[in-house]
Structure formats: C-alpha cells, structure tokens
Chains A and B, each alone.
Chain A
C-alpha cells in the first residue's frame, strides 16, 4: 500500500503534518483547540456542510511552499484545502479577529438572546462563539425578526428566532434519515427552517437534528425546562439497539435520567447518530449499561465559569442590551397572582394578545 502523502501546515506558528486533501480546519484541529477556528455551520460528519457561517475565516499568509503568495481574502478554513507549506493565521491575525467580531454581530442581529430561558444555554455554540470572539455589545437597534415557536412532531420544538441557518439539520435529515420533510424556505434574511405546510418530522432518526443544532432552535421537548444543563451530570452508557449503535450520553438530575443524547466529540460533533427509541423511550437507568461519567473536554463558557472573568463588562453589557430592547409592555398584570392563576382566570390569552400587539407596535 502506498503511504499517504503528508504535507506541512502551520497555524498560528504551530506546524503539523497532515494527509493531502485535509482542510485547514481539520489541520488546525489536529494541532489542538488553542488554534482550531470556531465552527458554527461546519460539521464533519455531515457531507456538504460548511462555508456558510463564515465564523472560521482565517488568513492564509503563505499559500504554499511552491507559491508563497498570501491569499487576497480571508478564507473559510472548513472548506479550504491546506497546501504543503501553507501558513495560516487564525487568532494571531487582527483582520481575522475583526472579521469574526463582525460575524458574531451579524449572527446576533436576529438572535433573541433569550439564553435565560433557552434549553441550549450552556452547551450553545453561539454562546461560546459570541463570548470568545464577539464584542459584548451590539450596534443593531432595529426590530428583530420573530416567529412563534412551533412543534415539528411531538418531541421536537422549532424556535426559528434562534436559528442561524447553518443547514446542519437539513443535511442530517437528508443524510441520516430516509425522507426529509423540512428544509430552508424563502431566502435572504427571510429564510427559515420549516416544513412549509405544518408537518411532523417522523422517522426513526429524526431526533438527531436536535443534537446537531448549534443553537437552541431545535430542542428536545421531553427535556424542556427540566434543568439547566450545567446542573445535570452526563454519563456514558450503551444498550443493545437494533437500529443504532446504542452509544449515548445519559443526562442525570439526581437519580433521574432527564435526557438522552448522542455522544459528542471534542468539537461538539456527534460520534454516532442515535435512534429515537434510544433518545426518547429509554429513560430509566435500568435500560442502559453505564460506562461511567462523561468527560467533556470542551467546556462551555458557562460551565467553565468564564462569565465571571473580567474580560467582559457584564453589568454594562446587560444594561445596554436591556435598554436597547426596552419596549412598552402592558403593566396591568396582577403581579400578586401566580402565572397558574392568571392562566386559569381566562385573562391569560387576552393578556398575551395585548402584549403581542404592543410589542409589534
């Protein structure tokens, strides 16, 4: 067998040897997380993914050994093949850092920043990306586009407000399941993930779209509001499954399994897609063989307690943001009543409609 030809790639001063055909992203990942570009749409297990979010833009300071000219524009590292002798600047290049600030800002323009009520918070790639690469403020003071959350099937909730149109779920449905019923409708900033005419996503592997979603646009309804992710403890477990590998993470709150997900690698990518039976139907410890606690090498900004760091002016940011988004709301609500009481009283719908009308003014 012919030995694979290796080429040398340098990222932020660190050199690695990789097989011909490797992308800059994969080469950087081989060196390690300290030089790996962020990825919001690229997802190695999904063919055709990448190139869209532009979060992974890098500077190619030297094209190759043979042709040392730099590339004129920043390139998306996830889809650009490395060349022998290529020199890549990632975190070390101010243009790259600046461009990524821009990407964070763009992605957050229409993102609701409802992390406090989003199940994805704590394992959200956009949260990480914004924290690590963003400015911490916004200059956007216009209306955000908004949609009502909708159910696509009884176990998946779609919140389009949070969607960053990475297309991962579309590729997943196309490549993992036997029929795709959802896709990207419309175009431009009106583009949306949708089934167009309300349809349920029904097939044995549909739940995987939840795992690949980098944000909280697709969430597991059976896990909804059960816990903040950092309060739950994951364990590696497996079972004999005739549909999938049966290799999962069980997420415990106390003794209760509150969620089952596929196992993910260091980059947040699913290692083995799992079937819906494993995801939704086996929520007892006795359904599984426990292997031990899951090691999560890639800490989210929340679980790593990074929000306490001094790198971000928390109060100003929060206040600025709140001020930007301050709108008149109906203040006639009786705050002494609990939400349950209001719901029962029949005023709830009126109240919601009134609020909606005010918000849309």
Chain B
C-alpha cells in the first residue's frame, strides 16, 4: 500500500503560506540556498535525472532527460518556461497549487532556471486565472525583496528575472510550441517539429518548457536528493502526483498521492474521494484529463488480466488503448450510472472542436465533423453508419496532425465507442427515448 507522504501539498493548509514570510519560516527557499550555494547546475540536473520524475503536464516525458537535451551554444540566452496554461478538462491541480502556495513554484523556478543557466524565465498562466497571476506577481515581488530573485541572488553572481505571462483563452497554448508562439505575442499555432524547443524555442533560443507541478517538485528533489524521490512511487512511476478529482464522487478536489496507489483505494477510501455519491454506482472514469481514453468502471478497477489497477503511468496504460488508458495530467473524472456517455463524448468533442487552432486540416475539419455527428446521435438524428464513420474520422485525425491536439480529440471518441458502443446504438435505435431529459442507457454489467 502506498504511503500518504506529501511533498507538494504538505504545507498547503498552513495559514498565510501564500506569503513569503510564512513560507520561509516553514523551510521555504532552502532549496534555493542549497542549489545556488552548494551545487553546480550540472549536479542539479543530475539529481533531477536520478529522481526519475516524469513531466506532470500529461505526456510523462522524463524531466531530467528533457533538461539534458537543452542546447548550450555560447552567447545565446537560454530560457525556462513554466507551463501554467492548465486547460485540460478535468485538470485543476496547477490552479490549486499556484493560488495556494505560489512560492513553491517560484522556488522551483529559481532552482530550475539556475540548473539550466537561464537568466530570464517565464511562467505562462492561462489568462482566465488573472487572479492567480496577481498572486504569483506578488510572490515574485516578495522573493525579489528578500534577495532570492533579481541581480546577484544570495551574493552568488547569478541573476534571474521571472516574468508571469497571461494567456488569452486557448487550450492549445498548453502545447509547448503553441505556448512559445503565444509568449512571442502570436496566435497559438503549434510549430512544426523539429526543431524542438530544446534547440530552438522561445525567441529561437534553446528553451525548456515544464509543467507547474514538475517545476514545483524540484525544490523537494534538491532538498532530499533525487534518490530519495525515486524511492517513492512504483517502478518507472516515481514520486507523488497531484490528482484533480471531479465528477460524481463524494469529495472532489485535488489530492496528492504516491504513485502506485490502487485506483480502488483512491476512489473509495475516506482519505481520498470517499466513494461514489450516495445511492449511486460508478459507471466510467476518465483517468487523466479529457483526452485520455475513457474506461468503464470494471476496467478502471482491474486490468484485463484481473490485476488491480494502480494510479501509475504503467498500470493505467496496461492493455494499451484496447483495455487501458493513460495517467495523462491526472484529471480524474468519475461518472456514475446517471451519466450519458454519448452526451459526455459529444461535450468533449465540442471542446476539441472549439479549441483546435485550425492550422492543419485533419484537426481543423475533423474535430468539427466529429462534433456534428455526435451532436446528431445525441439529439436523436443519428444513423447506424455514423458510429463507424466516427471511428474512421477519429483514426484519420490520430497521428496525422502537427500537434497532439488531434490525438486528444480522437481518443475520447474512439474509446467511448470501443467501450460503450451499445449506448451509441441505443441512441440511434431509440431516438425518442434517448432525447428525454435524464434518459440514460443502462448496462449494469459494467457498473461497480
């Protein structure tokens, strides 16, 4: 059984923790002191590598490896950009972290920028969170006044300026190259890759883009060492992870779990979600944000081999897309038997249609097409052939686009049909019934 160790949220409930004073009193900025005074940038990178932490934004790419790809040509500035564009439906952990304990991110930014040799770093936060941006700006001001930011930090000769940049309302800017375009004051059109940001990123300079949670974790890694971090978690899923839980559970909210926690325990124990709302049963779960494949309740509890499913990168993806899903960004959406999967799929599809940047044709045209077909099915105008049409359109988007938004739009549709085809068919054969308010197709065999 996983421990209840917390490394990001252990201090989050301390009154006044959003201020520099209280944060500092509770051990804050020790990682900056240690990193800048006692460690070399390479040593920090080494610790992060040892920790095995994987990018918490959704893709799960090893953070240390990403750092080591950063090109270091002479005379050209390097940038660290923190991705706080959190817009994946089901995910609100970065929002939670930044508003409650902003200094944790600032501290991580200083440590990480020092490790990467960046003298100007950016925190790109979605524009809707303007109030959080103001919290971060205040925290930066405080850190600066205390000598942890600005020129000659702690007398080390190292300079760092932190800039918080607001987005303008575009999910796509969570994709790292779209984010960089946006930061350059342009439309959030993802770039063609290669070149990757590590070679040519912000302002054509080598750049690392990391998620808020990933960067916030670096302070703990510096304080306790990468090896200690790697002891947490399970297998290649090291450490802890913030899970944003929403939907029909008793206690929605943000939870820090040690990776490897059984899904069942996460849903049903009082320490976490406290179970499904009274009098209802679990029907389906989207485990890692709206773009990952949806799983019926039975498959989220146990893998196809009958092993208990764990909250880890590997266990959640066990069985591939046929019977598995992904940890993604940790947006855990639980749905009980009152949820109409067709409606939910249409809703997600509408989201991706709305958020497609429109640059490449499969995504621009395909996302809208899928939404229209799903709208028809949901509203009682579907044809049986529409189901296969959806599968086919999704397949033709998947893998053929400039950025992963195409995949993100295709996966929820493909997986919903894969696991809930009978529900789609019912909508088509029972258009009148299906369009009644609150009407839901029942297949009790999948409920847990």
Contact = CB atoms under 8 A, between A and B. Distances in A.
B190 to A, nearest CB: 10
Contacts of B194: 81
Given A52-B359, A139-B389, 20 more contacts: A51-B402, A52-B361, A52-B402, A53-B360, A53-B361, A79-B192, A102-B362, A102-B400, A103-B361, A106-B361, A110-B365, A142-B372, A164-B361, A187-B170, A187-B187, A187-B358, A188-B353, A188-B356, A188-B358, A189-B353
Interface string B149-161: 0000000000000
Contacts of A140: 369
A140 B369 CA distance: 8
Contacts of B389: 139
A179 B174 CA distance: 31
A79 B366 CA distance: 22
B400 A165 contact: no
A165 B364 contact: yes
Interface string A59-94: 000000000000001101001010000000000000
28 contacts: A51-B192, A51-B402, A52-B359, A53-B361, A54-B362, A55-B361, A57-B400, A79-B192, A99-B400, A102-B362, A102-B393, A102-B400, A103-B396, A103-B400, A105-B396, A106-B362, A109-B369, A140-B369, A164-B361, A165-B358, A184-B187, A186-B358, A187-B170, A187-B356, A188-B364, A188-B368, A189-B356, A191-B357
A234 interface: no
Contact of B368 (A81, A139, A184, A189): A189
Contacts of B372: 142
A189 B362 CA distance: 11
Contacts of A142: 369, 372
B354 interface: yes
Nearest to B356: A188
B355 to A, nearest CB: 7
Contacts of B9: none
Interface of B: 170, 187, 192, 194, 353-362, 364-369, 372, 389, 393, 396, 399-402
Interface in A95-139: 98-99, 102-103, 105-107, 109-110, 139
Given A79-B192, A110-B365, A188-B353, A54 B360 contact: yes
How many interface residues does chain A have, given as a range?
20 to 34
Interface centre among A53, A73, A98, A189 (most CB of B within 10 A): A189
Contacts of B401: 54
Contacts of A106: 361-362, 364-366, 369, 396
A361 interface: no
Contact of A54 (B187, B368, B400): B400
Interface in A26-54: 50-54
Nearest to B396: A102
A50 B366 CA distance: 19
A247 to B, nearest CB: 32
A180 B187 CA distance: 16
A109 B365 contact: yes
Interface string A192-221: 000000000000000000000000000000
A158 B433 CA distance: 46
Contacts of A344: none
Contacts of A187: 170, 187, 356-358
A337 interface: no
Contacts of B353: 188-189
A73 B353 CA distance: 23
